[in-house]
Chains A and B, each alone.
Chain A
Amino acid sequence: KNQVEQSPQSLIILEGKNCTLQCNYTVSPFSNLRWYKQDTGRGPVSLTIMTFSENTKSNGRYTATLDADTKQSSLHITASQLSDSASYICVVSSLNTGNQFYFGTGTSLTVIP
């Protein structure tokens, strides 16, 4: 069964600290993996996208890693800011025809001053 699991479910960190969010998946055949940031009451916005041949990608203070062998990904946030408070969703797409996207339930991050 194609599934995406994220951990932790929620996280509270102090402003300026780093954190790492995890995503494990069983989606096959794998096409690519995305991390989205979703502010409360808004639609998700893409942070990074990685295909099977990429194992790291950065977008400013966000760095995503992908291990296609163990089917794990992480999103590392450096020097967190209050504006990083949001839900972070891992989405894995498959090469199957039809609907290809499998969503995690997200990690809710709260950055406190």
Chain B
Amino acid sequence: DTGVSQDPRHKITKRGQNVTFRCDPISEHNRLYWYRQTLGQGPEFLTYFQNEAQLEKSRLLSDRFSAERPKGSFSTLEIQRTEQGDSAMYLCASSFPRGRGPAIYNEQFFGPGTRLTVL
């Protein structure tokens, strides 16, 4: 257990339905990341937050995807009008960068993931 939790662990939905996932990071971590991972591939970056601010979004994050971190703690990722191509593992990670310059230390801790299957 890394201290990052995700809910639900598994979600099966029909095409066209909306789904929402939740991530609870390690409490003192100010950065929170969302990734998507398909079978046999490494995680692909979707978006990340520093505190409550969403600082960067990948081009993978289409208009149907939205993420929030309203109070700088937990985060939600919503997918609207799901498509079969959205089937994947959705991973959340958190970190707290420390140090400066070349000595900066920023280690990510991953949650267990939410496995989404769109029928």
What residues make up the interface of A, taking CB atoms closer than 8 Å to B? 31-32, 34, 36, 41-46, 49, 51-52, 89, 91, 93, 95, 98-101, 103-106, 108
Contacts and interface: CB of A to CB of B under 8 A. Distances in A.
Contacts, number: 66
A103 B42 contact: yes
Contacts of A95: 101-102, 104
Interface of B: 2, 4, 6, 33, 40-45, 48, 55-56, 89, 91, 93, 101-113, 115
Contacts of A91: 108
Nearest to B44: A103
Contacts of A106: 40-42
Given A49-B107, A101-B33, 12 more contacts: A31-B106, A32-B105, A32-B106, A41-B89, A43-B93, A44-B91, A49-B105, A89-B43, A98-B56, A101-B108, A104-B42, A105-B42
Contacts of A108: 40
Most buried by B among A31, A34, A108: A31
Contact of A42 (B45, B101, B113): B113
A95 B113 CA distance: 27
Contact of B41 (A32, A43, A105): A105
Given A99-B56, A108-B40, A46 B45 contact: no
Contacts of B110: 36, 43-45
Contacts of B2: 43, 45
A108 B112 CA distance: 18
Contact of A101 (B41, B45, B112): B45
